Structure 1
Amino acid sequence: MPTVTPLFDISELTENSAKGIELNQRKLFAVCRQGRIYLYENRCPHKGVPLEWLPDTFLDVEKQFIQCSTHGALFTIDKGLCIAGPCAGASLIPVSYEIIDGQLCIPE
């Protein structure tokens, strides 16, 4: 059975919010949208820079898209697809996860 690492309690992630996670120098972030959680690598496909403006601030003002703080690129929450900005057509890297006993966990 593969080992899993818990990242956070899912109760910490409310609807239309995001949360940054750092695990052994790996940067990730999670977004909750319509009751679903999406987990991505915290790296813009354009320059490889972290996306957030401030800690846990990954979404645009209307909370409709993930927005890169460096170039303003917009990504869909459900697919991580860039729809506007210098990396249009590129995608964020999704990360597989499991929810175990209320904890969002990733396989190791």
Structure 2
Amino acid sequence: MPEAEPAASTVALCRLEEIEDGEGKGFVLGAGSERREIVVVREGERVYGYLNACPHVGTPLDFQPDRFMNADGSYLLCHTHGALFEIETGYCIAGPCAGRSLTPVALELGSDRIVRLPA
């Protein structure tokens, strides 16, 4: 009988107040081939998570650490080619990958922490 895979665990990322409302924050999870960069965006008491990789060519969205938003904070922005993504869905509304979406990352807002849920 094959051995069961170990159960994936949740990962506490940060407190909600550590991300300014209307802003995003980057995190690195795992190491080696399991390393993933993610972005968490806060809108009030809600959070949204995505892999930090533009669907156009896979480059990170931020050109400087934690600079994920367009000028007025209404969209996630890929600073490489200017693609704009809806915060709530990750859907690209403008740019070279229009019609495609960022890869979502499952998050939960716990009692005092933003938590990445197992994949």
What TM-score, normalized by structure 1, do the two folds share? 0.92
Match in the other structure for 1:19: 25
Which deviates further from its counterpart, 79-88 or 8-17? 8-17
Aligned-residue identity in percent: 39
Once the two structures are superposed, the pairs formed by residues 1-108 of structure 1 within 5 Å of their partners are: 3-24=9-30, 25-108=35-118
Q: In 2, Cα distance between the equivalents of 1:99 and 1:31?
A: 12
Q: Secondary structure at the match of 1:51?
A: coil
Shift, 1:97, TM fit: 1.6
What TM-score, normalized by structure 2, do the two folds share? 0.84
Shift, 1:53, TM fit: 2.1
Please list every run of 5 or more consecutive structure 1 residues that lacks an aligned counterpart in the other structure. Answer: none
CA deviation string 1:32-56 (max 9, x = no partner) = 1243111111000000110002110
Q: In 2, Cα distance between the equivalents of 1:3 and 1:76?
A: 28
- 2:25 aligned partner, one-letter code: K
Q: In 2, Cα distance between the equivalents of 1:107 and 1:62?
A: 30
Q: How many pairs does the alignment contain?
A: 108
Q: In 2, Cα distance between the equivalents of 1:56 and 1:27?
A: 12
Q: Which has the higher strand share?
A: 1
Larger of the two Rg values belongs to structure: 2
Which deviates further from its counterpart, 59-68 or 91-100? 91-100
Q: In 2, Cα distance between the equivalents of 1:36 and 1:104?
A: 10
Please list every run of 5 or more consecutive structure 2 residues that lacks an aligned counterpart in the other structure. Answer: 1-6
Q: In 2, Cα distance between the equivalents of 1:76 and 1:49?
A: 18
